[in-house]
Amino acid sequence: MESPAPFARDIGPFGPGVFIRPSREDGNLEEVFGQWGLIGWFAKTPQPAKKPGQRTILTNNARFKTIHKLATYKAPWARGQRCIIPAWSYLEPNWETGKNQWWRFRRPDGQPWGMAGLWNTWIDKETGEVHESYTMVTLNCDDHPLLRRMHRPDPDRPETMQDKRAVVPLHPDAFEIWLRGTVEEAVSALVLPPSESFDAGPDKVSPKAPPPQSSLL
């Protein structure tokens, strides 16, 4: 995700970023500084411990299909802790050449995206320190003409059943519904934009590859 100053140009998993939510005090929108990688209520540390020889469990993306039942996400989802994540652009991996080429996705009008997200507040039981965090909601994109071209294909799955997923840039008209609507209304706002809504192509200044299965914002 390409972020506004003073943050780094691109934010990787567990990096610091900003999300927007209704204030718990007066309901007005507020910008919150937090970790891109949701911290579950059961977590012992803000970031998962890195174990030798094992892949770090990433929580920067929340698959919509299972968001209501996975331990990390189900409580924030049930409580309606939805947020919007601002980003000037975001990156996805394209493997059509046989190796990864990062593609950057921008809006054609030059305005920032408002990505569908979920937030949570976690308090360190030992120190009392409050940690804010967020994750991006993802949808299946197997039927999307552009987005289905992203990510490494699974050779064991047919082309029409790859189960590829994409983050969701919300339409501006859906911001209020996503933040304050009922669960049913919020679900109706989760729609992947048509291909012409993207200014997308190979990134000229790609960052180093992030951990597998992640997207950069």
In a domain, 157, yes or no: yes
| Residues 157-167: tens digit of each pLDDT | 877 777 899 99
Structural domains counted in the chain? 1
Per the DSSP assignment, residues forming a β-bridge with 104 are: 91, 201
Sorted by sequence, the CB contacts under 8 Å of residue 53 that are 6+ apart come out as none
Distance of CA 54 to the CA centre of its chain: 23
Q: Side by side, which strands form the sheet with 90-94? A: 90-94, 101-106, 199-202
Rounded Cα distance, 138 and 150, in Å: 13
Using alpha carbons, select from 99, 86, 96, 70 the residue that is nearest to residue 217: 86
What pLDDT sits at residue 3? 53
* CA gap 83, 179 in Å, rounded: 6
Is 182 inside any structural domain?
A: yes
Q: Is residue 214 domain-resident?
A: no
Q: Domain range for residue 31?
A: 16-44+58-202
Q: Is there a domain that residue 217 lies in?
A: no
Structural domain includes residue 11: no
- Rounded average pLDDT over 95-107: 94
For residue range 173-187, list pLDDT tens digits in order. Answer: 999 999 999 999 999
Domain assignment present for 98: yes
- Burial class of residue 87, CB neighbours in 10 A (0-12, 13-18, 19+): buried
Least confident of 38-42, 55-59, 76-80, 139-143: 55-59
For residues 83-90, average pLDDT: 96
Percent of the chain with pLDDT over 70: 90
Q: Is residue 5 part of a domain?
A: no
In this predicted structure, which of 163-172, 175-184, 187-196, 205-214 has the lowest mean pLDDT? 205-214
CATH number of the structural domain spanning residue 108: 3.90.1680.10
171 lies in a domain?
Answer: yes
At 213, give phi and psi (nearest 5°): 70, 20
132's CB contacts (< 8 A; 6+ apart) are 32, 33, 34, 35, 119, 120, 121
